[in-house]
């Protein structure tokens, strides 16, 4: 259960337009994360805009984006993000069930390409150590443009922020399709 109550979407007519915008951007859903963030509508609105920019306004392909997001979630133990991205986005991005199962121990798996391995090493360094060794950074640059390196770095940082907010405030994932609330 969340440490801060999730707001009922009908509690304040002042945020109806923002809720509609969030629902529109999230496939008609008002995720628990946004129900929490609506305690401060300006933060909720900024979070939505920033999240959309780092996910959808980049040159990163969907597979790279989802690998990075899922790996951050694994490292930080964020079931909320694992559940949503594993079920809704990973397959659409071209990740296989075998890759998802191997992702926690990716270094031991042959299921990831050289560019994916460079990306995952970068995610691990940024998330676990913050400081990225030169060899890890140089390995990434061999597969991604300068713009993509910046985009990937910001995406990883954003999802580290996501996971930390979700974990600190103990926000529960939404029920999967077919589950009761």
pTM of the model: 0.92
Between CA 135 and CA 61 the distance in angstroms is: 23
pLDDT (tens digit, 9 = 90+) per residue, 115-152?
999 999 999 999 999 999 999 999 999 999 999 999 99
Give domain status of residue 21, yes or no.
yes
Whether residues 107 and 123 share a domain: the answer is: yes
Same domain, 34 and 82: no
- Count Cβ atoms within 10 A of the Cβ of residue 102 and give its class: 0-12 exposed, 13-18 middle, 19 or more buried: middle
Q: How many structural domains are present in the chain? A: 2
Do residues 66 and 152 share a domain? yes
Lowest mean pLDDT among 8-22, 91-105, 149-163: 8-22
Residue 159 and residue 103 share a domain: yes
Residues of the domain holding 147: 62-168
Averaged pLDDT for residues 48-52: 96
How does residue 177 score in pLDDT terms, banded at 50, 70 and 90?
low
Phi then psi dihedrals of residue 45, to 5 deg: -65, -45
């Amino acid at each position: 259960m969340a440490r801060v109550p999730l707001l009922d979407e009908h509690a304040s007519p002042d945020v109806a337009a923002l809720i509609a915008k969030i629902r529109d951007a999230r496939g008609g859903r008002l995720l628990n994360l946004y129900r929490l963030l609506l305690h401060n509508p300006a933060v909720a609105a900024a979070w939505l805009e920033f999240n959309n920019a780092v996910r959808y306004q980049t040159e990163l392909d969907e597979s790279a984006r989802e690998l990075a997001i899922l790996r951050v979630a694994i490292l930080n133990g964020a079931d909320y993000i694992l559940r949503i991205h594993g079920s809704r986005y990973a397959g659409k991005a071209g990740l296989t069930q075998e890759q998802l199962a191997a992702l926690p121990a990716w270094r031991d798996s042959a299921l990831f390409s050289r560019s994916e391995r460079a990306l995952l090493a970068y995610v691990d360094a940024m998330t676990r150590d913050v400081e990225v060794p030169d060899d890890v950074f140089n390995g990434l640059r061999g597969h991604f443009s300068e713009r993509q390196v910046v985009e990937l770095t910001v995406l990883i940082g954003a999802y580290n922020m996501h996971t930390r907010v979700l974990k600190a405030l103990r926000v529960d994932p939404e029920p999967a399709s077919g589950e009761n609330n």
